[in-house]
Chains A and B, each alone.
Chain A
Amino acid sequence: SQTIHQWPATLVQPVGSPLSLECTVEGTSNPNLYWYRQAAGRGLQLLFYSVGIGQISSEVPQNLSASRPQDRQFILSSKKLLLSDSGFYLCAWSPASGFYNEQFFGPGTRLTVL
């Protein structure tokens, strides 16, 4: 069966510091991978998605970036965090061969920027 991991689970960072969040998927090959942000009490905002190694699509202009160095690894980064970057970050995967895009989510990372 497939498993998706995210770390860290929680993170408190000062404004202007760098960020690196990691997501890995087990039990599948060549998945589509996604990064979302969820503000308190709000829906999910798609940030980035990837259909393969080194292939990143950005949905929202911001000071965040994403990379996919390995097939089942997805990293969300920032060089300098802003207060507005606080939120709940979710990674998700879907089967690349699927016609219907059922996405399966990780446990999330709660980021607080002070």
Chain B
Amino acid sequence: EDQVTQSPEALRLQEGESSSLNCSYTVSGLRGLFWYRQDPGKGPEFLFTLYSAGEEKEKERLKATLTKKESFLHITAPKPEDSATYLCAVQARQGAQKLVFGQGTRLTINP
């Protein structure tokens, strides 16, 4: 069974304090890994797709990386507006219409 585990569950940082969120996955053949941002009471917002090990994607203060077993979302010099829950999801080669989501990491950036 395909599984996604995100850690930590919650992370509190000071403004400007860089850190990383982890997404570990087990899947029977990975087609793609996706990162989303979700603000309270809103639907998830698509951030990145990663296709193969070694790939990196960047958007403002966020950089996502992918290995054969996990993905990291690096946050550099975060600002309070980066506070949100970050969700990771995988798409397997089998059953490719579906995504399997992790539980998310709730990130809080204090000013």
Chain A nearest CB from B80 CB (Å) reads 21
Q: Which of A44, A101, A107 contacts B87 (CB 8 A)?
A: A44
Q: Which of A49, A88, A104, A110 contacts B97 (CB 8 A)?
A: A49
Which B residues are within 8 Å of any A CB, using their own CB? 31-32, 34, 36, 41-46, 49, 51, 87, 89, 91, 96-99, 101-104, 106
Interface centre among A44, A88, A90, A104, by most B CB within 10 Å?
A44
A101 and B90 CA atoms in complex are apart in Å by 9
Contacts across chains A and B counted by CB atoms under 8 Å: 58
Known contacts A90-B44, A108-B43: does B87 contact A43 (CB below 8 Å)?
yes
Whether B98 lies near A49 (C-beta < 8 A) is yes
Whether B42 lies near A108 (C-beta < 8 A) is yes
* Total chain A interface residues with beta-carbon distance under 8 A: 25
Known contacts A43-B101, A49-B97: does B44 contact A100 (CB below 8 Å)?
no
Interface centre among B43, B87, B102, by most A CB within 10 Å?
B43
Q: Which of B32, B43, B44 contacts A101 (CB 8 A)?
A: B32
Known contacts A108-B41, A110-B41: does B31 contact A100 (CB below 8 Å)?
yes
Whether A102 lies near B34 (C-beta < 8 A) is yes
A88 and B42 CA atoms in complex are apart in Å by 9
- Having A100-B51, A101-B31, A105-B36, one finds 6 other A-B pairs with CB under 8 Å, namely A43-B101, A44-B44, A99-B31, A100-B91, A108-B41, A110-B41
Q: Which of B43, B97, B102 contacts A32 (CB 8 A)?
A: B97
Whether B42 lies near A104 (C-beta < 8 A) is no
Known contacts A46-B98, A110-B41: does B46 contact A102 (CB below 8 Å)?
yes
A110 and B87 CA atoms in complex are apart in Å by 19
Whether B91 lies near A101 (C-beta < 8 A) is yes
